[in-house]
Amino acid sequence: MVNPKKIAIVGAGIAGINTALELQRLYPDFELTIIADKFNSETLSDGAAGLFRPETYCFGPSFDISQEWINDAYNFYKNLLNTEPCGINEISGYTFSKKKEFTENHYLKKCLPTYRDATDEELLQHSTENSIKEYGSFCTSIVIECKRFLPWALKKITNNGGNVIERKIHSFDEICDDFDFIFNCAGLEAARLCDDKELVPIRGQILRVKAPWVDKFYYDDFDTYIIPSIEDGTVVLGGCRHFGSHDVAAQQRDTDTILENCIRLVPSLKEALKSEYKVWVGLRPYRSRVRIEAEKIKSAVVIHHYGHGGYGVTLGPGTAKYAVKLLLSYL
């Protein structure tokens, strides 16, 4: 029997919320408090397109552990399909490229029930005069609508006895005397809290347009992607990756490039642009490896859980499970 502990989670984005859910699942008697200055629609996670689709590089200490994170995350989301009104839906789609290796995802091959090469007929069907599809893959994955998922999960956490404090933390020293364990899920703010020089922003810009006829996702070269929302008929058009940029202002140059690339990929989107669309900019917290490790600060154990880059939604439940396991050696 483990004596109940007092635990704080700093950050209420996708990493923090999934950490809270996992803690309450394993340790329902522990006193849990989420501390953040931004919740739900104010978080970076709220703007994410939310497609479950990792890149093919190594996120964790090894490829095997990275695969474990991805499998755990997929199973978490899969278990919520059709059982909870929390913004999680199944979706199919294509990845195209001029290079075959860019269409092959070794993580998804081992994870998804449906993953295959695109057929010649599918390549021809999605080719245009200005965009010939040479290689492609097709899969059925999951889209996580964070606008629905984050409020649903936060309500579940508070209904299960979790506390919420709206507060900006300037140093872990401020709260070390009040908690036995602190989970650092602060995202980009962790660079300041931990003086982490490895953590850098990747600026991303997307557009959200109304196009309910688009029912599949598409990825193409040059960071081009089209991800429909099952919930409201909107479609996310992206994107860009500007390493080291702290600029949160929308740039017309990026908007024009996104529109040009996405319309080339799915020409019917030109019709969607006759109505208004929204532009969103976010700074994604990137490290060469997601940081999941523990350290002692004063009387508390701080477990760091941040640095997912643009893959927090995809990895979040898996890395949360891995981070919570670190508690065992201290209980």
DSSP annotation string for 220-279: ETTTEEEEE-TTTSEEEEE---EET----S--HHHHHHHHHHHHHHSTTHHHHTTS--EE
Tell how strand 181-184 and strand 300-308 pair up. parallel
pTM of the model: 0.95
Q: Which residues of the chain have pLDDT under 50?
A: none
pLDDT the model gives residue 1: 56
Across the chain, the runs of DSSP E, i.e. the strands, are 6-10, 31-36, 88-97, 115-117, 135-144, 163-166, 181-184, 200-210, 217-220, 224-228, 234-238, 242-243, 278-297, 300-308
pLDDT the model gives residue 128: 81
Q: Which residues are CB-neighbours of 282 under 8 A, at least 6 positions away?
A: 44, 47, 48, 203, 204, 248
pLDDT the model gives residue 47: 87
pLDDT the model gives residue 262: 94
pLDDT the model gives residue 80: 95
Say how many C-beta atoms besides its own lie within 10 A of residue 73's C-beta: 26
pLDDT the model gives residue 239: 87
Say how many C-beta atoms besides its own lie within 10 A of residue 81's C-beta: 12
Beta carbons of 109 and 141 less than 8 angstroms apart: no
The structural domains of the chain, with segments of one domain joined by +, span 6-330
Instruction: Name the CATH topology of 6-330.
Output: Rossmann fold (3.40.50)
pLDDT the model gives residue 115: 98
Hunting for tokens 């507060």 — which residue is that? 167
